[in-house]
Structure 1
């Protein structure tokens, strides 16, 4: 998650309970996913409309971001209650799985402007607090009888989530903490490595050291691998446990089926999925990433914007969405999730990518999404 759309994960509401539903299929079929934090958490009055739409589109996975400031030892109880309340109502819509990914709501001090390198990641983020936080989150949701997927941190390769200095190393530690704590209280839950932002933002005068890292480079640093994906140091010091790998593959205005010189191999955008899978297999051969996890790829964020400098025409977005789904099926990923059912109600929100308008009006992208099989 990037830009001010992180604000969508901040508002909260309350309720509770759970439902029984099947897990993501183990077959090669791609599970269709959808996320809309505003409709499912921030404004519960919109949840019935989301559920109706999800049922129409045959959605099997819904994703949530929970807020974390890097220091709190417990999740916001109202956000947790909202997720549980959503699960209560989702059974009739055929939604069988949820994914939960904490979003670090870092401020500008995480990646300050200017020539300085910025703070160390460990100066801003407490591992002890995270251990308590993720255990409390998993404990709160463990009795929800729906398949539960977790990612340790949303888009850890964005420096506003984890500072650049030591960020990849800290992420590896947080991921392993998440795996240990979640499995201790909820062995049936799945913990995914990654949740990676798809490309590095270019450097600039304001940010000479950048604002994010390419996922390929970030993974190598986290796992202690060379540019050629060979291990350095002790494998035990760099290894992670994981049930799968989650990627965000959005690439605004780009044809998802055509590689471009604009993005290098380390940018794991949708058109580069085959490269990403190949490099993850290389990582697995070093024993620092489980080989089974490297084969289980979940695409947990994809979209085209409906406004702003990255806006794509609705007709082209609809065409590209069809191509993206075809690529996802060809690459045999486990899930393909679109971010936002509706445009956010606030026009100040920079991330607008609704399949529908903010008042529920139908776009051709929504018709296309519903028809994906």
Structure 2
């Protein structure tokens, strides 16, 4: 195959992959997604097992978090190579799209105990991010799958972006990703948000909190008041974000997804209708497009198998079916479960495998496979 024909084949494949993520009809189910960083990046010897499981469950979408410290201009080359190796095999196993979400795991100085903490701008460099995200997109642009980018993972958590000025920094980061990724990979899609659903409760140790509600954060980013109208004195040219869709994390570990939360700014699975309605209100200000506000991607959902947030596998299976029904009702584009297997490290707080760490199936895995 010549170099020219190889390029044409790759481009056509990516176009077909992008089409596969668009539901064919209003009643179409979301594309199933699955993420397991250990199986796909950290321990490549497990990638084959991941592919086998993903194909069995008819998974079409895989997500990756990549490391960024908030200051570096250069991405982790090893992580990008692992993702490229995964993507080369993905279409053969039914995976037609990959999402990249840089993750800033800040140290305690991002949100110190009993202190107000630093400004977001002192910890997150927008100019460094410009070089960083362009390098990422340049390296991954030829993957034979549709490429989706969420500029930062869970920006409304203060350990990712400090609270003071977070909305401004995130808006700049997001629009930087739009311009830099599209410059080198015009077919890539940029998703606004990647938001965790609710604020963590204030406590004696954290009197200033640890995170912000999804709805509250969106208004901060877009310069809107509590009624989703433009705040006086804010300019649309300053507060507009360019996006192809909205990415949400709707996990609510112990809650019945059929039972709404009272605070409609908590964008959990139960409150997905509130989220969709309020995003439509935001779009009326023209600070995010109506087309982007309608395209909702759920990119983290799970029930935990260990720890204080654990529920029984039987209950998790029942709740998963209900959550899927809600996702279909609101016509979201993707529904991604976080972790195929429990991590092997016992120090990992987030344990939410559909399978055990050794690969033994749970009832939730049987349920996930059967979702249609």
How high is the TM-score relative to the length of structure 1? Answer: 0.93
Farther-moved stretch of structure 1 (231-240 vs 30-39): 231-240
What is the match of residue 256 of structure 2? 255
**Which SS does the other structure have where 1:228 is aligned?**
coil
CA distance in 1, matches of 2:77, 2:21: 30
What is the match of residue 293 of structure 1? 292
- CA shift for structure 1 position 168: 1.1
CA distance in 2, matches of 1:299, 1:105: 21
1:332-371 maps to which residues of 2 (within 5 A)?
Answer: 332-371=331-370
Aligned residue pair count: 353
**Which SS does the other structure have where 1:288 is aligned?**
coil
1:155-234 maps to which residues of 2 (within 5 A)?
Answer: 155-232=154-231, 233-234=234-235
**Which SS does the other structure have where 2:200 is aligned?**
coil
- CA shift for structure 1 position 260: 3.4
- CA shift for structure 1 position 145: 2.0
What is the match of residue 241 of structure 1? 242
1:26 to 17, 22, 45: 22
CA distance in 1, matches of 2:21, 2:339: 23
- CA shift for structure 1 position 330: 0.4
What is the match of residue 308 of structure 2? 309
**Which SS does the other structure have where 1:98 is aligned?**
strand
CA distance in 2, matches of 1:272, 1:338: 18
What is the match of residue 96 of structure 1? 96
What is the match of residue 47 of structure 1? 47
CA distance in 2, matches of 1:339, 1:260: 22
CA distance in 1, matches of 2:259, 2:203: 27
Alpha carbons 2:261, 2:271 under 8 Å: kept:
no
CA distance in 2, matches of 1:130, 1:160: 17
CA distance in 2, matches of 1:260, 1:218: 17
- CA shift for structure 1 position 25: 2.8
CA distance in 1, matches of 2:91, 2:126: 35
What is the match of residue 151 of structure 1? 150
Q: Which runs of 5+ in 1 are unaligned?
A: 1-17
**Which SS does the other structure have where 1:271 is aligned?**
coil
**Which SS does the other structure have where 2:357 is aligned?**
coil
What is the match of residue 5 of structure 1? none
